[in-house]
Amino acid sequence: MFWTWLVTLTASQVIYNTTLKRRVWWLLIALLALTFYVAIFKGYEWKSGWVPPLIAVGVLLGLRFRRLIVFVLPFVAIAGLYAVVGLVGTENYSWGTRVDAWRIVLEIGRVSPLFGMGFANYYWYTPLFPIRGWSVSFNSHSQFIDLIAETGYIGLLVFLWLFFALGRLSWRLTKQFPDGFARAYAYGVLAGIVATLVAAYLGDWVLPFVYNVGLPGFRAGILPWIFMGGVISLEQIYLQNQEGERS
């Protein structure tokens, strides 16, 4: 989440903040280049570290050049499909075990499909369902599967609704805010929401599973909630300024 939101918020200022000084703009470009260099060339094996930020930049560019989407989308889809096949091909064992874990956790979650079994409770039942011949405790490594097992399908729908509401708010504010930091930030949160949902698919990065990443994982997991809360604060500041001008 740290790398995802570092890239997302920096890229949104580069692309949408027309009030940036040239020197600051180039410094942010250098920060983006350095971050992707470290993430892709130094940490390529950690897909959750660079795939969500890359998608966030793609969303920002797509929103910025909307008129070109029709022409560019087919090429992006082909490149994306090729990348997915390549990434899965290099991680056959990891991907296969994840799919097995998802199947088992969903099977356990059938005990209470609507409201789930409570936070992290399914972890203690996984040894009863051997995974590839091993009777061990494990988690699903997917935020969505975790939510289904822990809070049921109702909890998953609430989770997705929250992100939808924040995304809709961010989109509306991009139309209301004047050019500058706040408008670029709203675009950043909008792209960050998409990237965060992708990260949630790849692992329990948004609501960390304590028996997987431990308590230290919450230090990074809290970041998207802080930054998404920031767009709500900007909305309140904007509304207060509007009321002040009217009075």
Per residue of the chain (247 residues), give pLDDT as tens. 999 999 999 999 999 999 999 999 999 999 999 999 988 888 777 888 888 999 999 999 989 887 776 666 665 565 555 455 555 545 566 677 888 999 999 999 999 999 999 988 999 999 999 988 889 888 888 999 999 999 999 999 999 999 999 999 999 999 999 899 999 999 999 999 999 999 998 888 899 888 787 778 888 899 999 999 999 999 999 888 887 777 6
In a domain, 128, yes or no: no
Counting the structural domains of the chain, the total is 1
Residues in Cβ contact with 13 at an 8 Å cutoff, skipping those fewer than 6 apart: 20, 28, 181, 184, 185, 188
pTM over 0.85: yes
In a domain, 184, yes or no: yes
- φ/ψ of 180, rounded to 5, equals 145, -165
In a domain, 154, yes or no: no
In a domain, 177, yes or no: yes
The answer to whether the CB of 71 falls within 8 A of the CB of 26 is: no
Nearest to 184 by CA among 66, 73, 63: 63
Nearest to 140 by CA among 105, 114, 111: 105
In a domain, 107, yes or no: no
In a domain, 240, yes or no: yes
| Range(s) of the domain holding residue 227 | 2-92+160-246
> CA 76, CA 71: separation in Å to the nearest integer?
10
In a domain, 9, yes or no: yes
